[in-house]
Structure 1
Amino acid sequence: MINETPDPKPEEIPEEPLPSPLRCWSGTAVASSMSFAAFLVTRKVITNFASTPPTGNDLALRIAITVRTLVVGVLTMATGVFGLIALGLLLLGVKSLLESLKNPESEEAS
């Protein structure tokens, strides 16, 4: 006989309250400044790459082009990710503000 034990019931996870709007918007400021800094670095790197073409034999050219593409891609991705994080935190702050305005008694209980 196979000893079959019943599946344990999943534990109830208590719902956490939303962070305060000020905390969300301070995170928005940090993420947007990081996004802007990554944008400036990306623009500078692209300008530098465009002004100095790679030199060397065929293999060296291919490697240089691949590395340049990867560097620009990673910097562009960092700019986009930090920008999306800033947007998400901004919207979370708005949602948190609306929730606190809709349910003022839940804030007083905390």
Structure 2
Amino acid sequence: MAEINPVQETAKKKPLPLVADETPPTPLRCWTGAAISGAIATALYFLTVSIHSTFAAKPLPAGNSLAVSIGSAVRTLVLGMSCLALVTFGIAAVGLVALGIQLLFQPKQSDA
């Protein structure tokens, strides 16, 4: 009976080539991405303000201390996740705008 060595079996298989995007970034692509990210950040801003005003208008139930603790934790987590998403998309938009400006002033590199 022939033994199958897993090391030899994997050595026989050729690794798949990694497919990478060969097109370099352009200012237009950066600014398009920044516009999309900025639009999402703007929508998240209005969502965050709406969540905050909704939570501020409805007080926590004062009957049970455990319910108050859980309610406070849930409100903090919901508002925190909304703010985290807002800041993430906002920073991405600012970074893409800055990258687009940098690409405008960067000298063209020849393909060597």
Q: TM-score range by the shorter chain?
A: 0.7 to 0.9
Is residue 18–residue 96 contact of structure 1 (8 Å, CA) maintained in 2? no
Q: TM-score, normalised by structure 1?
A: 0.74
The CA distance in 2 between the partners of 1:80 and 1:18, in whole Å, is: 27
Q: What is the match of residue 42 of structure 2?
A: 36
Report the CA distance between 1:46 and its aligned residue.
0.3
The CA distance in 2 between the partners of 1:65 and 1:32, in whole Å, is: 30
Q: What is the match of residue 45 of structure 1?
A: 51
The CA distance in 2 between the partners of 1:46 and 1:34, in whole Å, is: 18
Report the CA distance between 1:95 and its aligned residue.
1.0
Q: Does 1:86 align with 2:97?
A: no
The CA distance in 2 between the partners of 1:45 and 1:54, in whole Å, is: 15
Report the CA distance between 1:97 and its aligned residue.
1.3
Match of 2:103 among 96, 101, 110: 96
Gaps of 5+ in 1: 1-15
Q: Does 1:67 align with 2:74?
A: yes
Total equivalences in the alignment: 89
2:34 partner SS: helix
Report the CA distance between 1:18 and its aligned residue.
4.1
1:76 partner SS: helix
Report the CA distance between 1:75 and its aligned residue.
0.5
Q: Deviations over 1:24-47 (max 9, x none)?
A: 000000001111111100000000
The CA distance in 1 between the partners of 2:29 and 2:36, in whole Å, is: 11
> What's the % identity of the aligned pairs?
39
Report the CA distance between 1:17 and its aligned residue.
6.8
Q: What is the match of residue 28 of structure 2?
A: 22
Q: What is the match of residue 83 of structure 2?
A: 76
The CA distance in 2 between the partners of 1:21 and 1:97, in whole Å, is: 7
Runs of 4+ in 1 over 6 A off after TM superposition: none
